[in-house]
Amino acid sequence: MNATTASTDSGTPVPSAEKCPAFPPPHEFSARAHLGSLEDYRRLYRESLESPMTFWRRMSAELDWKEPWKELLAWDLPHARWFVGGQLNASYNCLDRHLAGPRCHKAAIVWEGEPGEVRTLTYRQLHWEVCRWANLLSRSGVVDGDRVVIYLPMIPEAVIAMLACARLGAVHSVVFGGFSAKSIRDRILDCGAKIVITADGGYRKGKIVPLKERVNDALEAPSGVERVLVVRRTGERVPMRAGRDCWVDKELKQVDARSEAKPLDSEHPLYILYTSGTTGKPKGILHTTGGYLLGCALSTKYLFDLKDEDLFWCTADVGWVTGHSYVVYGPLALGASVFLYEGSPDFPQPDRFWRMIERYRINILYTAPTAIRYFMRMGERWVEPWDLSSLRLLGSVGEPINPEGWLWYHQKIGRGRCPVVDTWWQTETGSVMIAPCPGATPCKPGSATLPFFGVDPAIVDDQGNPVPSGTHGRLVIRRPWPSMLRDIYGSPEALRNTYWSEVPGVYLTGDGARQDEDGYFWITGRIDDVLNVSGHRIGTAEVESALVSHSKVAEAAVVGEPDPDKGEALVAFVTLRQGEAGSEELKNELRRHVAQEIGAIARPKEILFTATLPKTRSGKILRRLLKELVRSGQIEGDTTTLEDPATVAALSKEVGKAAD
Ligand code: WT7
């Protein structure tokens, strides 16, 4: 196995072979792992591509099917149906089937609230709650196929609500608690939800997040929402609207705990999750039941090497796909114990994570590079005092992890003992696509390594031709996989255009990557107008349209700038309307405005007022030049297509001024 020298497009050097050797799986890990050698991985991987029928027939037995599937895949690009004719229920697979055996009284969820409360729910207890909630939803008029928006903090009720929807065949759409009233409203309207589930608030950095108030604002204008179910979390007084809003604890007194999980078609919609793309409007990514659940369960088993005795902690919020697949569906389908934490990693101090790992003896930690960089910056003194010897595996997701971060994670958190699985995937892919099998695949810090079963990735040039190894290009997936997105809710024609047509016949990920001589994938980040801020996807067009909706703004262009903490930070170039003048106050006002329109995560770090923006003769803003400007302070790229070449000089001056 050769280690590799590589560099990313953003200019970040990846350490050379000497500095960054490959890390073979530790022997004691491999000896106990579900997959213990590279040969085993390769054999299964090859089988998954060459004999998919045999492979998936065997693997699909990981789930409990009410009705066995007849046909593996019906593929009519861009529409896939997997495990055709099969029937199952995700809630049943995550709960009921574990009750018959020794998992019945095992912890399904171990939860810690930010203020410090602890709650444990066994599989039996979780099942009981989910059944009551399913009955509560039915009583509220929810039927199979209805959309339910969930806007909750990270409390067990978030998981309960999702599984209660799945039990009935209702489609949940979880909205991350950091999103604004406007974002909630847009999502409610887009998916046509009749019901919203929220809480009186949640705790974050010692403060209360006013979830209910935001939902009220979101529903101020007519919306089609008939009922708002409110979980009591903080006990604060919140405005309730009579006839529409009710307290969950009160309503639950009216229902019993008998509920059958409804057998659903393998392709029955499970959830819609909104994510940012290159347009001004988030896309509702639709996932269905059979293929998605199997993708989650298998990847959890083989990539996190999950065992019955593990306590698994994926730190993602359930508002993101990572929370759907690796807090809820993957681990619970396997009957695992899942740890859940409500709050912020730095509350009350930067050692909160390590304190909890010691206290609960967490075995697997799956977090994001942005968190790792934060801990690195805070310094080892916050980590060192804690007993992290329970940890046996570490995972990373959300953005490329730089080798320095990887090594720090491996040494300081894993104390050199734990494999680190860098997992590449997307909201659209549903489950992990490229990652090491920890007992089998030697790791190279900074590389997501090799594809998971059934995944057929390649790197191509702009014309769609494969590029030689070592050459940077576009990452594509050459065939459908079980947990792939099935639709963009409400805009079926966009599915083909967005993912399956730019390079005909293959799925375009939007990421750039290269493959080294060992076939390892090195993902370098987005190559479209999507930014990655602290592991969260933000479309530049969305932020631009938020800025332009402010009465003083004429035009805006948003680009990303490398940021040591966040990975990327937003820089906005803003042209004001005639008669308006730029000022520090206006910058703050615009930042507030964006937070109100989208959420705090989209707030630009820098705002530069400029008289003009660089445009082509057809009026298209050349973001490429702006990107170059914020990265290097000058523009050397091709400016021949500019309508007015003088804008470049003017802009360079503006940026220079801002830096002073
Ligand atoms: C984008 C997807 C999927 C979970 C969380 C984010 C970037 C994600 C990695 C990784 C390099 C990564 C990609 C991808 N990304 N994981 N391990 N290495 N880049 O989901 O919001 O849908 O974002 O996150 O750019 O396209 P998402």
Instruction: Using most ligand atoms within 8 A of CB, pick from 372, 399, 428, 485 the residue to mutate for ligand 1.
Output: 399
pLDDT of residue 648: 80
Two tokens, residue 285: 């990514």
Q: Using the mean position of ligand 1's atoms as its centre, give its distance from the Cα of residue 478 in Å.
A: 18
- Under DSSP, the state recorded for 329 is I
Q: Using the mean position of ligand 1's atoms as its centre, give its distance from the Cα of residue 611 in Å.
A: 35
Residues of the chain with CATH 3.40.50.980: 90-105+116-269
Pick the atom of ligand 1 nearest to 510's CA.
26
Short-list 521, 427, 423, 431, CA closest to 481: 431
What are the Cα distances from residue 86, in Å, to 77, 263, 264, 267?
21, 10, 8, 8
Q: Using the mean position of ligand 1's atoms as its centre, give its distance from the Cα of residue 222 in Å.
A: 35
Strands (E), 68-188: 71-76, 79-84, 87-88, 107-112, 118-122, 147-151, 171-174
Two tokens, residue 277: 């793309």
Residues constituting the chain:
660
Buried b (16+ CB within 10 A) or exposed e, 478-515: ebbbbbbbbbbbeeeebbeebbbeebeebbbbbbbbbb
Q: Using the mean position of ligand 1's atoms as its centre, give its distance from the Cα of residue 398 in Å.
A: 4
Short-list 607, 618, 616, CA closest to 553: 607
Residues of the chain with CATH 3.30.300.30: 534-659
- Ligand 1: list residues with CB < 6 Å: 275, 321-322, 397-400, 422-427, 448, 509-511, 523, 525-526, 532, 537
pLDDT of residue 658: 66
Q: Using the mean position of ligand 1's atoms as its centre, give its distance from the Cα of residue 191 in Å.
A: 24
pLDDT of residue 656: 73
Q: What is the pLDDT of residues 308-362, one digit of tens each?
A: 999 999 999 999 999 999 999 999 999 999 999 999 999 999 999 999 999 999 9
**In the predicted model, what is the mean pLDDT of the chain?**
94
Q: Using the mean position of ligand 1's atoms as its centre, give its distance from the Cα of residue 368 in Å.
A: 10
Short-list 316, 499, 530, CA closest to 423: 316
pLDDT of residue 660: 58
How far apart are the C-alpha atoms of 523 and 422, rounded to whole Å?
A: 10
Q: Does domain 534-659 have CATH number 3.40.50.620?
A: no
Pick the atom of ligand 1 nearest to 526's CA.
25
Instruction: Using most ligand atoms within 8 A of CB, pick from 179, 329, 426, 434 the residue to mutate for ligand 1.
Output: 426
CB distance 350 to 381 below 8 Å: no
Burial of 294 (0-12, 13-18, 19+ CB in 10 A): buried
pLDDT of residue 509: 97
Q: What is the pTM of this model?
A: 0.93
How far apart are the C-alpha atoms of 540 and 85, rounded to whole Å?
A: 41
Q: Which residues of the chain have pLDDT under 70?
A: 1-20, 657-660
Q: What is the CATH number of domain 90-105+116-269?
A: 3.40.50.980
For residues 133, 139, 145, 148, the Cα torsion angle rounded to the nearest 10 degrees is -60
Ligand 1: residue whose CA is nearest its atom 11: 400
